[in-house]
């Protein structure tokens, strides 16, 4: 599966973010905890460079907790402070400011030594589409979005949003989909719903999901769809047909595929992580 992007649009978004970086203290990089690498724009490191960063693994409630810990270790080894959150249910969001202060420890101490008065942390949230940026922004600023006005030296019209007294967010353009060659990344993004269903074949995604769960989470399919051990060992196409029959869809494999994909996305088959740390480590 190939996702297309347009260099002109990518260049524009990159330029806008680069211009706004100088106005913030820290970048909140938002990724999907189920695919911490596949949901990152590979150009992010080049764009952000040495700016302090807090990596937020969103939708952690849907991800394999063991894998999430391993991936947090991966980002920490790269020098980033990390935090697992679920913006939809507001879980972990209250820990963002304390974590940001850890990432900004040197700057805070430097400002204190210079006798500067403490002020709110200025941050921007960056992430590929559909990773939960809007939900997180709404959680941070609350229902009533307060505009704090233009800051000195900030280009006119740039919008700052206040989150309590300790955090101000700079409204930024979304970073578009990255260009990548690995079709596996496209499948992972599609299975989690990061790509519009109109652009994919749900039966392909159902087969991919069935194969993945049979391989990495044996027993989950048997438990969910009342399969025997032998049935769970079937190849994905035969498995799809078996589940379709058991759920009363008969030969309507499109409906069965839609159901399977929905249940994977919503966590009906349990928490899971598509980016396997042990495979990356090898």
Rounded CA-CA distance 136/126 in Å is: 11
Nearest to residue 210, comparing CAs of 143, 259, 140, 168? 259
Quick check: helix, strand or coil at residue 273? coil
Residues in the chain: 282
Residue 91, Cβ neighbours under 10 Å: how many? 14
Q: Are 85 and 66 in contact (CB under 8 A)?
A: no
Q: For residues 260 and 277, what is the distance between their CA atoms, to the nearest angstrom?
A: 25
Mark 101-135 as b/e (b = at least 16 C-beta within 10 Å): bebbeeebeeeeeeeeeeebbbbbbbbbebbbbeb
189: phi then psi, degrees, rounded to nearest 5 = -65, -40
Q: Give the residues of the chain that fall short of pLDDT 70.
A: 1-11, 143-158, 173-174, 176-181, 281-282
Q: Please tell me the predicted confidence (pLDDT) of residue 10.
A: 62
Say if strands 167-170 and 160-163 run parallel, antiparallel, or are unpaired. antiparallel
Instruction: Answer for the pair 20, 151: CB distance below 8 angstroms, yes or no.
Output: no
Bind-site residues: 58-61, 130-135, 174
CA distance 210 to 258: 12
Give the whole-angstrom CA distance, residue 228 versus residue 277: 30
How many Å apart are CA 176 and CA 158, to the nearest integer?
20
Integer Cα distance of 185 and 38 in angstroms: 6
Alpha carbons 34 and 61: distance in angstroms, whole number:
9
Give yes or no for a contact between 201 and 258, defined as CB atoms under 8 angstroms apart. no
pLDDT score, position 215: 95
Q: Are 206 and 247 in contact (CB under 8 A)?
A: no
236 Cα distance to chain centroid: 27
pLDDT tens-place string over residues 77-111: 999 999 999 999 999 999 999 999 999 999 999 99
Q: What domains, with CATH codes, occur in the chain? A: 7-170 (3.40.50.300), 201-281 (1.10.1580.10)
Q: What is the pLDDT of residue 261?
A: 97
Residues of each annotated binding site for GTP: 58-61, 130-135, 174
Please tell me the predicted confidence (pLDDT) of residue 152.
36
Phi, psi (rounded to 5 degrees) for 53: -140, 140
Asked if 87 and 58 touch (Cβ cutoff 8 Å), the reply is yes
| Pairing relationship of beta strands 26-32 and 53-58 according to DSSP bridges | parallel
CB 96 within 8 A of CB 83: yes
Dist. CA 148–CA 161, nearest whole Å = 6
């Amino acid at each position: 599966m190939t996702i297309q992007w347009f260099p002109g649009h990518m260049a524009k978004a990159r330029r806008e973010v680069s211009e706004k970086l100088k106005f913030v203290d820290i970048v909140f990089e938002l990724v999907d905890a189920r695919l911490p690498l596949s949901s990152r724009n590979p150009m992010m490191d080049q764009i952000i460079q040495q700016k302090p960063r807090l990596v937020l693994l969103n939708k952690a409630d849907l991800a394999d907790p063991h894998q999430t810990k391993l991936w947090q270790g991966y980002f920490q080894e790269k020098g980033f402070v990390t935090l697992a959150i679920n913006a939809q249910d507001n879980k972990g969001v209250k820990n963002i400011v304390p974590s940001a202060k850890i990432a900004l420890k040197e700057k805070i101490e430097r400002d204190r030594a210079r006798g500067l008065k403490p002020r709110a942390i200025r941050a921007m949230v960056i992430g590929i589409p559909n990773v939960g940026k809007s939900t997180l922004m709404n959680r941070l600023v609350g229902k009533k979005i307060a505009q704090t006005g233009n800051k000195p030296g900030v280009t006119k019209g740039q919008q700052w949003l206040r989150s309590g007294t300790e955090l101000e967010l700079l409204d930024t353009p979304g970073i578009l989909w990255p260009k990548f060659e690995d079709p596996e990344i496209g499948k992972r993004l599609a299975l989690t719903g990061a790509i519009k269903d109109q652009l994919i074949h749900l039966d392909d995604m159902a087969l991919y999901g069935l194969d993945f769960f049979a391989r990495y989470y044996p027993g989950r399919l048997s438990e969910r769809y009342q399969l025997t051990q032998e049935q769970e060992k079937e190849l994905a196409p035969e498995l799809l047909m078996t589940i379709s029959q058991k759920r009363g869809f008969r030969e309507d494999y499109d409906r069965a595929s839609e159901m399977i994909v929905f249940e994977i996305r919503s966590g009906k088959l349990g928490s899971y992580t598509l980016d396997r740390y042990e495979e990356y480590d090898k």
